[in-house]
Structure 1
Amino acid sequence: MTVDISPTRAAMAASLLMLSCSAALAGDAADDDMPRWTLGGFGTLGVAHSNEDQADFTSNALVRGDAGASRRWSVGVDSRVGSQASVEIDRQWSAVLQVVSERTLDNGYRPAVEWAYVQYKVTPDLSLRLGRIALPLFLAGDYRKAGYTVPWVRTPVELYGAIPLASSDGVDASYRWQSGEINHVTQAFLGHADLTLSPVAHVRARRLAGLSNTTTAGALTLRASMLTSMLTVDLAQPLFDGLRAYGDEGEALVRRYELADKRAYVASLGFSYDPGTWFAMGEIGRLNSRSYLGDKSAGYLSVGYRHRNLTPYLVYSASHPNMQTQVDGLDLSQQTAARSAAGAQLNAGLNQLLAAVARQYTVGVGVRWDLHPNYALKLQYDRVTPQQGSTGTFINVQPGFRSGQPIAVLSAALDFVF
């Protein structure tokens, strides 16, 4: 499902025809020249500046944003390029391959396969896909990395950054149906995902399953999604190994906070109302990982107005933990001096992990300039405020970082499709 944000619906439809697999392959066209190939791409040339010199601003946990403590201006936060090839073999069979290159945690720009699947249309309304498929989470879940298709420089980090996984390997089924003049697309999916964050850190999502429904009635689009998975993230393993050395009390903390084969879930609900000259959109979601990654709610609300080829906009986003983010940890009153000192370090390490469960809000203002067909220049100013000891969505946090202080982030991006 798509969200119309360009100056005209026709231009947006043309862009998404190249960028969105569901839009590109769900049409009724089937001429005598099959198979038919389509090749396109998208990209963002971005730069970001943060006035915080004790932490780095990033768009999500899988991208090494380095605006702030590492460097005054960073091109790594938002810059990326992607290409997509699709082939319609006949009226029923088609395939899509999408490759994206963006900043990774090891500071590289290695191309990665984002989508790679085969699609079979059982009927004009029912389709099945097998392979690497976009997760249908959030309004922009299908095209979140194609910056041209969203009004802002980046999707709001409090919500979209909380779920950096954008695709999974598996199967899905999509069914299009109607109730009166209201259109629906219901999608169910099963799969798994395996990401390498570093030589010693991995993310594994097993038994990943979910359901999504998108409803369109005129200018209004609603999307509701739910996803669940057995999740493992083997970060901070020395911390949990150290806690285990403190007997039952340490084991209890490990069971509570270690993320090892824990049942996690995400639920989200979003809307977009776009009659043409203006738009309003918003989403809310909840993530519960039953671990140090936390149980938190996040959301945003954004409005914008189109005047010729300019679109000024406002956005407010926030993240709030539904759990304690500061705990006592181990009781060290009966420990020896050496074990007490080691335990104090473990308690501090655990609370440092919990401080990363974002308690944060952002107020942003920006403008989009559609300077040429398929090219958009955006400028955005964000005032980001982590609260109550939280480090928010920032990474590379230094000892001098102070929560509760507003942080100014200035961004510029040139988005394009081809």
Structure 2
Amino acid sequence: MSQKNLRCLPLAAAAMVVCMSAQAEYTIADGKLRLSGFGTVGVSRTNNDQAYFNYPGQGGGADRSASFDPDTKLGLQGTYKLTDTISATAQLLTKYRATGEYTPQVEWAFAKWQATPAATIRVGRIGAPFFMVSDFRDVGYANTTVRPPLEVYGQVPVSFTDGGDASYQATIGSATLTSTLWGGQTKAKYASALRSSGADLDPVLVKIRNQVGLNFQAEFDGGYTLRFGHSQGKLSVETASLGTLRSGLSGVLAGGLGAGPQALANQMLNDVTTTGQKATFTGLGASLDRDNIVLATEYTWRSIDKGVVADTTGWYVLGGYRLGTVLPYAVVSRLTVDDVNTSLNPQAAALGAAYRGAQGLINVGKVSQNTLSLGARWDFRRGMALKAQFDRISKPSSSNGLFLNPDASTASGQDFFNNKKKINVLSLAVDFVF
């Protein structure tokens, strides 16, 4: 199987679904090793050819042509019990990534020590716990909708951290309280419109160092859950486009055009450079799963000191009602840019193409949009669910929303960015666990 494309993944996942219908139980003889897996075969299409619908950061996606790329994935997980209190867990996940390929990646690889019945310590690569469903955001079967609402879950471009966490669980009355202190560092590739016309896709490299976070979760009798989380770290964004911009200004930076233009060029580069900037992320969440009623909501906000990554606020409200094995649901969600965090000196317009390139870097952070989603989930077989979902996404002018604008420098790309758009997305997915 080619590492370059792995284009047969959707077919492989579909074949696994067929196999699961014949055999869905697996056992390991000695009981120390536990293997499991999950996956999604999903297809989606939109009514717009100007930009791709995807999970933010993927190197392609769906437009008027139906695509398997946004949602199709396959994960395998294993846990080996070394002693009564120490175990090791690894998870390998293959999905469509920023490079425009289906690439396997180690999402989890940690050792766990159950120090006491209430205290747990994990060290290694763990799921970054930014959200209510961080540990299973890629497990479609564990989520009500086809995908977690992107207006909230699209704000953080990383899904794991290399470090560790420590959790303590206590019972007070009818409530189970869990507090978790976590930290580490991570990096991820993220596809955006940061390229010139006709150029190959150039994913941005996002790094977050010195991450530290604290989460609290309370679970109550009756299916109620409340959550609060806060984290901070040092954010850096690296892209070849910034290097191209610097190279294009090399003559100015060398002083060839005098002190005035040189000062403007230095200021402009400083404005669009994001290196070691303090970044914080905070989230509040609540959910209810009781009898036939399913409710969930999250409110999150992201703050960056300076650079091309904007301050944002995101939220969603989800409601559903089970009718036997079918769960119809509706979701309202919104993502707002609170502050773009940088602006260019109007006098720098004299630098021509370099100024326009720098403005393009800033425009990538303009991601405001809101979505109304209607869908239904049918649990037609143990460990398998069929989902259908319709999304009506509205984005304002001067925004790319969470879409991948293939090339913002073209007339089509500029039209998509500059004008209001209402885009319909149809999705169909089969989720499975084994």
2:409 maps to what in 1? none
2:353 maps to what in 1? 342
Q: Which amino acid aligns with 2:49?
A: D
For the pair 1:279 / 2:282, whether they are aligned, the reply is no
Q: Is the 8 A contact 1:239 1:350 kept in 2?
A: no
For the pair 1:117 / 2:117, whether they are aligned, the reply is no
The separation in 1 between residues aligned to 2:43 and 2:204, in whole angstroms, is 28
2:229 maps to what in 1? 225
Structure 1 residues 194 and 217: alpha-carbon distance in aligned structure 2, compared to 1, 3 A threshold:
same
Aligned residues: 377
Q: 1:50 aligned to 38, 46, 50, which one? A: 46
Q: Is the 8 A contact 1:37 1:88 kept in 2?
A: yes
Q: Is the 8 A contact 1:127 1:175 kept in 2?
A: yes
Match of 1:400, SS? helix
Return the offset for 1:58: 0.9
Q: Which amino acid aligns with 1:234?
A: E
The separation in 2 between residues aligned to 1:267 and 1:45, in whole angstroms, is 32
**Gapped runs of 5+ residues in structure 1?**
1-17, 19-32
Residue range with higher mean Cα deviation, 276-285 or 286-295 = 286-295
Q: 1:67 aligned to 62, 68, 81, which one? A: 62
For the pair 1:393 / 2:402, whether they are aligned, the reply is yes
After superposition, the C-alpha distances for 1:70-124 in whole angstroms (9 at most, x for unaligned) are: x611100000000100122222101111100001122221211010100011111
Structure 1 residues 91 and 326: alpha-carbon distance in aligned structure 2, compared to 1, 3 A threshold:
closer
1:322 maps to what in 2? 338
Return the offset for 1:312: 0.3
Q: Which amino acid aligns with 1:278?
A: I
1:14 maps to what in 2? none
Return the offset for 1:206: 1.1
Structure 1 residues 254 and 264: alpha-carbon distance in aligned structure 2, compared to 1, 3 A threshold:
farther
Structure 1 residues 164 and 344: alpha-carbon distance in aligned structure 2, compared to 1, 3 A threshold:
closer
Q: TM-score, normalised on structure 1?
A: 0.85
Q: Which amino acid aligns with 1:210?
A: G
Return the offset for 1:36: 1.5
Q: Is the 8 A contact 1:35 1:89 kept in 2?
A: no
Structure 1 residues 399 and 52: alpha-carbon distance in aligned structure 2, compared to 1, 3 A threshold:
same
Structure 1 residues 165 and 275: alpha-carbon distance in aligned structure 2, compared to 1, 3 A threshold:
same
Q: Is the 8 A contact 1:359 1:388 kept in 2?
A: no
Q: Which amino acid aligns with 2:291?
A: G
Match of 1:67, SS? coil
Amino-acid identity (%): 29
The separation in 1 between residues aligned to 2:285 and 2:203, in whole angstroms, is 36
Q: Is the 8 A contact 2:224 2:288 kept in 1?
A: yes
Q: Is the 8 A contact 2:271 2:344 kept in 1?
A: no
Structure 1 residues 160 and 332: alpha-carbon distance in aligned structure 2, compared to 1, 3 A threshold:
closer
For the pair 1:237 / 2:237, whether they are aligned, the reply is no
Q: Is the 8 A contact 1:330 1:347 kept in 2?
A: no
Q: Which amino acid aligns with 1:175?
A: Y
1:410 maps to what in 2? 426
After superposition, the C-alpha distances for 1:124-182 in whole angstroms (9 at most, x for unaligned) are: 10011111001111111111000000000001111101113111111210100122221
Structure 1 residues 37 and 349: alpha-carbon distance in aligned structure 2, compared to 1, 3 A threshold:
same
The separation in 2 between residues aligned to 1:272 and 1:41, in whole angstroms, is 25
The separation in 1 between residues aligned to 2:101 and 2:340, in whole angstroms, is 35
**Gapped runs of 5+ residues in structure 2?**
1-23, 191-200, 254-260, 407-412
The separation in 2 between residues aligned to 1:324 and 1:229, in whole angstroms, is 19
Q: Which amino acid aligns with 1:345?
A: R
Q: Which amino acid aligns with 1:53?
A: D
The separation in 2 between residues aligned to 1:164 and 1:201, in whole angstroms, is 11
Q: Is the 8 A contact 1:283 1:299 kept in 2?
A: yes
After superposition, the C-alpha distances for 1:198-251 in whole angstroms (9 at most, x for unaligned) are: 877422211111111111112210111111111111023136525784433443
The separation in 2 between residues aligned to 1:220 and 1:267, in whole angstroms, is 21
Match of 1:73, SS? coil
Return the offset for 1:344: 4.4
Q: 1:367 aligned to 376, 384, 406, which one? A: 376
The separation in 2 between residues aligned to 1:263 and 1:351, in whole angstroms, is 18
The separation in 2 between residues aligned to 1:121 and 1:328, in whole angstroms, is 52
Alignment of 1:162-241 (within 5 A): 162-196=155-189, 201-218=204-221, 219-235=223-239, 236-238=241-243, 241=246
1:11 maps to what in 2? none
Q: Which amino acid aligns with 1:274?
A: D
Match of 1:164, SS? coil
The separation in 2 between residues aligned to 1:118 and 1:326, in whole angstroms, is 41
2:4 maps to what in 1? none
For the pair 1:105 / 2:98, whether they are aligned, the reply is yes
The separation in 1 between residues aligned to 2:146 and 2:50, in whole angstroms, is 23
Structure 1 residues 105 and 332: alpha-carbon distance in aligned structure 2, compared to 1, 3 A threshold:
closer
Structure 1 residues 309 and 195: alpha-carbon distance in aligned structure 2, compared to 1, 3 A threshold:
same
Q: Which amino acid aligns with 2:62?
A: A
Structure 1 residues 221 and 253: alpha-carbon distance in aligned structure 2, compared to 1, 3 A threshold:
farther
After superposition, the C-alpha distances for 1:9-66 in whole angstroms (9 at most, x for unaligned) are: xxxxxxxxx9xxxxxxxxxxxxxx97611111000000010111111111121x2342
Return the offset for 1:193: 0.9
